[in-house]
């Protein structure tokens, strides 16, 4: 079966498919999350209001060990559609946060396959999968998170994964924070979100099979750290929405700069720059 025919079959079988996951926003999980983010583990007792964007660390998928593939992701068709390309990476998000989440809440996530779009890119054939994750408490929407994952062709053994040369990050910042990304931080975030993708912890696999020079920083963690920094630098505002895009890989062990503008008319621009000043992630934040 050729690629076009295979993709049409996947779209026919999977578009609109919804998977429901329930989770408790438990004090024990909040202790782990706070500690991972270098915060006081006792700062979030039962009933405490959480930062708006922390919803994404709950109701994570839990594939059985026998369903894990050679790259550490669940096998195709177990949780996500069986898109016939071997490599998957996070790319971008669009988020609305109309509600609140508190410690002790019973959270429900409804994960819908919203779009499957094959494309021709500079690196070859790709396919963009969009998942629409709706988080609810007591039947009320807390957040809607549309997440894009890019599926790509494999690189030939021994060759480098194609990476764009990058552009210089903006310099019109109102605030900035320097952040080191040690392996322990990436490990703890991956454990909290139950992410076993081997490029984040297995350097031999990352180099030999996927063509990267080192283990790759988890994109979800990059967004989490940038959001935490942005919220810290907008204390008089409540986060209500996010648009984000990852533009260049960051590697475990790197030191990056989290940067942003002041809030103006309810909006902030924020970004991540690597040690050479190249743009690695961009974000637009809406505040109430």
pLDDT at 27 over 80: yes
pLDDT at 155 over 90: no
Instruction: For residue 260, count CB atoms less than 10 angstroms from its CB and return exposed for 0-12, middle for 13-18, buried for 19 or more.
Output: buried
Calculate what percentage of the chain has a pLDDT beyond 70: 98
pLDDT at 3 over 70: yes
Instruction: State mean pLDDT over 147-172.
Output: 81
* Sign of the alpha-carbon torsion through 112, 71, 3, 220: positive
Residue 162 — pLDDT band, cuts 50, 70, 90? low
Helices (H), 146-267: 183-192, 203-208, 219-232
Q: pLDDT tens, 212-263?
A: 999 999 999 999 999 999 999 999 999 999 999 999 999 999 999 999 999 9
| DSSP-assigned letters across all residues of 247-260 | -S--BTT-EEEEEE
Dist CA 71 CA 87 (whole Å): 8
Dist CA 175 CA 128 (whole Å): 33
Dist CA 147 CA 89 (whole Å): 11
Instruction: State mean pLDDT over 29-36.
Output: 98
Mean of the per-residue pLDDT values of the chain: 94
| Tokens standing for residue 233 | 């630098």
Kindly give, in sequence order, each residue whose CB lies less than 8 Å from that of residue 8, ignoring residues fewer than 6 positions away: none
Position 91 scores a pLDDT of 84
Tell me if residue 100 falls in helix, strand or coil.
Answer: coil
End-to-end alpha-carbon separation of the chain, Å? Answer: 50
Position 157 scores a pLDDT of 67
Q: pLDDT tens, 69-120?
A: 999 999 999 999 999 998 888 888 999 999 999 999 999 999 999 999 999 8
Position 224 scores a pLDDT of 97
* Sign of the alpha-carbon torsion through 27, 238, 279, 220: positive
Instruction: State mean pLDDT over 28-53.
Output: 97
pLDDT at 164 over 70: no
Position 172 scores a pLDDT of 86
Host H or E run for residue 223 = helix 219-232
Dist CA 183 CA 200 (whole Å): 9
Dist CA 196 CA 200 (whole Å): 8
């Amino acid at each position: 079966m050729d690629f076009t025919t295979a993709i049409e079959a996947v779209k026919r079988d999977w578009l609109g498919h919804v998977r429901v996951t329930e989770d408790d926003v438990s004090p024990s999980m909040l202790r782990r999350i706070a500690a991972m983010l270098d915060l006081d583990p006792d700062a979030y007792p039962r009933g405490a209001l959480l930062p708006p964007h922390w919803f994404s660390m709950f109701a994570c998928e839990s594939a059985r060990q026998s369903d894990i593939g050679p790259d550490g992701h669940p096998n195709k068709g177990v949780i996500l559609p069986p898109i016939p390309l071997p490599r998957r990476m996070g790319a971008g998000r669009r988020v609305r946060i109309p509600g609140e989440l508190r410690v002790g809440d019973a959270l429900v996530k409804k994960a819908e396959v919203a779009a499957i779009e094959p494309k021709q890119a500079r690196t070859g054939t790709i396919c963009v999968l969009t998942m629409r994750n709706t988080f609810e408490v007591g039947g009320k929407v807390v957040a809607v998170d549309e997440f894009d994952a890019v599926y790509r062709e494999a690189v030939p053994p021994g060759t480098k994964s194609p990476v764009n040369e990058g552009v210089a990050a903006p310099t019109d910042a109102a605030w900035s924070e320097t952040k080191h990304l040690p392996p322990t931080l990436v490990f703890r975030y991956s454990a909290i979100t139950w992410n076993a993708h081997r490029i984040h912890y297995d350097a031999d696999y990352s180099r030999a099979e996927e063509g990267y020079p080192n283990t790759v920083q988890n994109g979800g963690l990059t967004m989490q750290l940038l959001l935490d920094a942005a919220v810290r630098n907008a204390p008089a505002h409540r986060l209500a929405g996010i648009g984000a895009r990852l533009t260049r890989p960051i590697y475990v062990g790197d030191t990056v700069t989290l940067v942003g503008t002041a809030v103006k008319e309810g909006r902030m621009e924020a970004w991540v720059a690597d040690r050479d000043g190249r743009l690695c992630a961009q974000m637009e934040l809406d505040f109430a």
